[in-house]
Every structure is written in C-alpha cells, then in structure tokens.
C-alpha cells in the first residue's frame, strides 16, 4: 500500500463548477498535509497547507482534513480553465501522491 | 528573487557516464531535497538534508549520492548512469517550520541512453 493515494483522473469539470479532489494516507500519526499544483512541464507550486481537522479556505480553494478517516481533500470552486493542471497531495512534507489531473472545459 | 536554481535543465547521458546535478537556494532555508518524477508515479524522494551537514536516504536512493556543500547548495551525483534513471529531477527547499511546504526548482530532464 502506498503511503499517499490519489485518484489519477483525469477529472473533467465544466467551467464554473466545483472540482473535488481526494487523497488518503496510511500513516495514522501524520501531522502536516499539503496540496501542490503542477502545470504540464513545470515544477510543483504550493497552494494549500492544513494541519487541523476541518476546513481551511484560501480564495477559491478549500482544503478539508479528517484525521480519523485519514483523508484530505481539495475543493476548487468556480473552476477556471487556468486551473487545468495536476494536483499533488503531500503528507508530512516527504511523501507525495501520484497526482490527480484536472481539466476544466470551457 | 531566484528561489531554487537547478542546473542543467536538460541532459543526455550514455549508460555508465557520471554527472552531478546542481541545486542552490537563496531563501536561507535549512532543509533541501531531491526528488525524481516519473509518469504515473508522482514524486519520489531520493535524498534529503534536514540541515547543513546532514543527509538522509529517501525512498529511492540506490544509484545516487548527495553532498550538502553549504547551507545554500545541495548536489546530486549519478556515478554510473543507467536507463532506469531517465526521469525529471526536482530539487526543493523548505524552512524547518512545518507550515511552509516546499519551494521547488524548475527541474532537470535527464535522459540516459
């Protein structure tokens, strides 16, 4: 079992819709969780970090953490074509999921 | 603000050749990391350096060596390149505080033929 699991996608959503990405992890004592966005051919860039159970909002992005169920999710509201990218979940900084590719269709 | 600078951006090696990937950061970060990224496998940690003077193995260290030359620089060496090392390599850095995540370099695309 991989430490961090993500659905590879692709996840296709219409412009203006909500994109929902999920990530599960195996290490029950994990403390820090991150979401990165990676455009094709580019390096990952940090978009969200979360440490406590519940929701954390930053602009159109909301991260949700449930430590009891060992999952973290990312919601992208009012999706734009510029959100089309691969989204990587990272746990405890060192472990990354394989990423979910999101395509926002106009 | 340069952030994290990696060189070279592209490299083609023949099997058995050696090379060093260079990484430097100007953000006064304590921790530095080397990852490789392969299609469908995400980012896999090769080596990391939590602070100047220390290095530790990650998930896939075989075939690689690293040097934390000083606080700014962290190099990755392939002693005898193999086709299985064809990949995109990313260097990253972070403060030791947990809530900052990584800053990544632009990557090195390495092909071993």
Would you state the structure tokens that stand for residue A93, as one six-digit string? 């900084």
Q: Sign of the CA dihedral A32, A38, A43, A45?
A: negative
Q: What is the pLDDT of residues A45-101, one digit of tens each?
A: 999 999 999 999 999 999 999 999 999 999 999 999 999 999 999 998 788 999 999
Which pLDDT band holds residue B97 (cuts at 50, 70, 90)? low
Which has the minimum average pLDDT: A2-11, A68-77, B15-24, B49-58? A2-11
Dist. CA A1–CA B112, nearest whole Å: 30
What pLDDT shows up at residue B98? 55
Nearest CA in chain A to B42: A98
Residue of B3, B42, B58, B103 to mutate when probing chain A, most A C-beta within 10 A = B42
DSSP of chain A, one letter per residue?
A: --SEEE----EEEETTS-EEEEEEES-TT---EEEEEE-TTS--EEEEEE-SSEEEEETTEEEEEETTTTEEEEEESS--GGG-EEEEEEETTTEE---EEEEEE-
- In chain B, what residues touch A88 (CB-CB under 8 Å)? 42-43
What pLDDT shows up at residue A9? 81
Contact A43 B105 (CB under 8 A): yes
Dist. CA B15–CA A21, nearest whole Å: 40
Choose among A36, A43, A46: nearest Cβ to B107.
A43
Nearest CA in chain B to A43: B106
- Higher per-residue confidence, B42 vs B14: B14
Q: What is the pLDDT of residues B27-71, one digit of tens each?
A: 999 999 999 999 878 899 999 999 998 999 999 999 999 999 899
The C-alpha of B30 sits at a distance from chain A's nearest C-alpha, in angstroms, of 14
Which pLDDT band holds residue B2 (cuts at 50, 70, 90)? confident
What pLDDT shows up at residue A29? 86
Which pLDDT band holds residue A1 (cuts at 50, 70, 90)? low
Would you state the structure tokens that stand for residue A28, as one six-digit string? 């029950």
- In chain A, what residues touch B105 (CB-CB under 8 Å)? 43
- In chain B, what residues touch A35 (CB-CB under 8 Å)? none
Contact A95 B40 (CB under 8 A): no
Choose among B42, B94, B98: nearest Cβ to A96.
B42
Q: Return the SS3 of B93.
A: strand
A44, A86 contact by CB (below 8 A):
no
The C-alpha of B89 sits at a distance from chain A's nearest C-alpha, in angstroms, of 10
Dist. CA A72–CA A4, nearest whole Å: 10
Q: How far is CA B40 from CA A18, A44, A62, B108, in A?
A: 24, 15, 25, 18
Q: What is the pLDDT of residues B68-91, one digit of tens each?
A: 989 999 999 999 999 999 999 999
Which pLDDT band holds residue B1 (cuts at 50, 70, 90)? low
For residue B110, is the peptide bond before it cis, meaning its omega torsion is within 30 degrees of 0?
Answer: no
């Amino acid at each position: 079992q991989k430490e961090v699991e993500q659905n590879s996608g692709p996840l296709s959503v219409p412009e203006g819709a909500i994109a929902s990405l999920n990530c599960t992890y195996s290490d029950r004592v994990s403390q820090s969780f991150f979401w990165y966005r990676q455009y094709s051919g580019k390096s990952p860039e940090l978009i969200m970090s979360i440490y406590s159970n519940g929701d954390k909002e930053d602009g159109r992005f909301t991260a949700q953490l449930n430590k009891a169920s060992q999952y973290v999710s990312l919601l992208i509201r009012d999706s734009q074509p510029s959100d089309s990218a691969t989204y990587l979940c990272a746990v405890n900084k060192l472990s990354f999921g394989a990423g979910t590719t999101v395509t926002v269709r106009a | 603000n340069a952030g994290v600078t990696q060189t070279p951006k592209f490299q083609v090696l023949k099997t058995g050749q050696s090379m060093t990937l260079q990484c430097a950061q100007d953000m006064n970060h304590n921790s530095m990391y080397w990852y490789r990224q392969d299609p469908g496998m995400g980012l896999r940690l090769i080596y990391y350096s939590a602070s100047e003077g220390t290095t530790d193995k990650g998930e896939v260290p075989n075939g690689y060596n690293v040097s934390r030359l000083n606080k700014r620089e962290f190099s990755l060496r392939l002693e005898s390149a193999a086709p299985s090392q064809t990949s995109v390599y990313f260097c990253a850095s972070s403060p030791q505080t947990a809530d900052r995540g990584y800053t990544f370099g632009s990557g090195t695309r390495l092909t071993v033929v």
